[in-house]
Amino acid sequence: MQPWHTPLTPLSFLARSADVFPDVTALVHGDRSWTYAQLHAAVEERARALRAAGVQPGDRVAYMMPNVPEMLIAQFAVPLIDAVLVSVNTRLAPEEVRYICDHSGSSVLVLDTVHWPEITQVAPELETVRTIILAEDDQHADQPLARANPAGTHVVDLETFLAGASADADELVWAVADENQMLSINYTSGTTGRPKGVMYSHRGAYLNALSEIVHSGFDHDSVYLWTLPMFHCSGWCTGWALVAAGGLQVCLREVRGPVMWDLIDRHGVTHLNGAPTVITTIMNAEEAHDLDQRITITTAAAPPSPTMLARMADRGFEIVHVYGLTETYGPYTVCEWQKPWAELDGPARAAKQARQGVGMLTADRARVIRTDTDADELIDVPADGATMGEVVMRGNNVMLGYYQDEEATAKAFAGGWFHSGDLGVMHPDGYIELRDRAKDVVVSGGENISTIEVEQAIAAHPDVVDVAVVGIPDDRWGERPKAFIVRKDGADLAEEELLEFLRDRLARYKTPRHYEFLDVLPKTSTGKIQKHTLRAQEWAGRTARIQG
């Protein structure tokens, strides 16, 4: 290694903060707290235990957890032994969790005890998982813990697992040999039926975290509330960013109004991230009141309305609007504030803030390209704020590719740029603004839902002949999926039966709440379903198609 080269890795952030701020509080959960020295020790303890359990460099370790300290600890412990963290969306159905564990080839699955009852049923089928670790945090001791032991899989509680490794005193190196090596895999629903594993590198996570320090304004005095799921895009790399800044992170199990306001007041929260639904929940809570401190909310997908922005400003909140995908480590663009906007009236200013903006400091410039050419041929649309095109991105803020899926990776990277599938315009000032989605994806509460996946689950019912799923507006979630169904002649299939049928096949948040039974679906002459027709009738009178 050259004396002038140190591979970039977010591990260095905790190594440094444990060194520089050992006695500063890094993490709070309920009545428990961890200093940076204690967080560092907890990470090393897990790393040693995982290594003692046979986890090798490059191995995948799956975690399925709410926003509890164990999940943040995992973001350092797994890469510390050069392994790869697979974060599992806690809202997935057991069958989906099984698919992700098997597809990633994870050898260990760490579960919060709340998820064990549902995962028990698929545990015997897991192909590569040898060890299941059940973690129960202090805040949840009242939860009943079932410990059925599925055939062939070792199930152990976290305390026992950690105790078994205490003899291993090998030195742990808080560095990596190659900054481009894989750090984590985050599964996302794309246009195909199965989730794809988005691979993050140490370098990408490091640089994304530095950008978030700059754009969200994290520093040593920051108190960050974990309203964004940690499993989502590695928590937008925010856990690493806060550790780099030497700030305080506040965990919580449930994103509910009373809980959030209690933590905001108790810890003097200064920052939080989340989809617009989080903002709505905070602002509409009974406990909502004016703030003593300022809170910066970094939000994605769509910014609040002018009315909501005004209400928030009155309370003491300010907004940083970002945009990105799982494939871009979370945020890629930021709607950089321009001083002259302060002189605009509310709606005009909100319209400026509603735009997705410009590449972050460590990201490349985003482009909007024509969609009427080959995917490999990247021709920018005019920057006129009117001509629609697809948003494409590249550089250090873009994933390494999809795990074990060269075909999907090649398609996503056609022409050397990542194709977001999002449609938008380029304004004359270089800000992008989304207008529609090219992909068959519904974004509900910040999570992608593949309409094709939902359609396949519904089509599996013997009475269904044809089905189309589109996103419809929802005041709370931004969008929700709605299913349009053609039944078999004479079948009297109803909504209730479908819901029952889908219960074990589809995560609850993906399952449509709205069904409409048609005689025939609108189709093109070549037989392709015209989803835009279905969408148009549902979105009539709404200005924004893209919402959280």
Please select the residue that binds its own copies; options are 4, 31, 169, 343, rule is CB under 8 A. Answer: 4
Closer residue to its own copies (CB): 2 or 524: 2
- Taking the complex as a whole, how short is the minimal distance between the CB of residue 135 and its own copies, in angstroms? 31
Of residues 418, 477, 484, 539, which one binds its own copies by CB under 8 A? 418
Question: Both tokens of residue 150?
Answer: 């599925």
CB of 20 to its own copies, least distance (A): 5
CB-based contact 112:139 (threshold 8 Å): no
Asked if 6 touches its own copies (CB under 8 A), the answer is yes
- Report how far residue 544's alpha carbon sits from residue 329's, in angstroms, rounded to the nearest whole number: 25
> What tokens does 270 get?
């200064």
Q: Binder to its own copies among 263, 399, 470, 529 (CB under 8 A)?
A: 399
Distance CA 34, CA 37 (A): 8
Q: Per CB under 8 A, which region of 52-60, 67-75, 332-340, 521-529 contacts its own copies?
A: 332-340
Give whichever of 396 and 456 is closer to its own copies, judged by the CB atom: 396
Q: Is 5 in the site for its own copies (CB under 8 A)?
A: yes
d(CA 361, CA 331): 11
Binding flag, residue 380, its own copies (CB under 8 A): no
Per the CB < 8 A criterion, the answer to whether 461 and 498 are in contact is yes
DSSP H helices in 133-237: 158-163, 202-216, 233-236
Contact positions with its own copies (CB under 8 A) in 303-322: none
Q: Which residue has the tokens 């930021």?
A: 334
Task: Give the C-alpha separation, 147 to 156, whole Å.
Answer: 8
Angle between helices 36-52 and 11-20 (to 10 degrees): 140
- Establish if 84 lies at the interface with its own copies (CB under 8 A): no
Site membership for its own copies, residue 401 (CB under 8 A) = yes
Measured between alpha carbons, how far is 432 from 364 in angstroms, rounded to an integer?
13
Q: Cβ of residue 395: shortest distance to its own copies, in angstroms? A: 4
Start-to-end Cα distance in the chain = 45
Minimum Å gap between C-beta 102 and its own copies is: 26
Q: Does 225 bind its own copies (CB under 8 A)?
A: no
Least distance from C-beta 134 to its own copies, angstroms?
35
Amino acid at 258: P
Q: Radius of gyration (Cα) for the chain, nearest Å?
A: 23
The answer to whether 428 contacts its own copies (rule: CB under 8 A) is: no
Contact positions vs its own copies (CB under 8 A): 1, 3-6, 8, 12-13, 15-16, 19-22, 24, 180, 201, 204, 210, 213-214, 217, 219-220, 244-246, 336-339, 358-359, 361-362, 364-365, 394-396, 398-401, 413, 416-418, 429-430
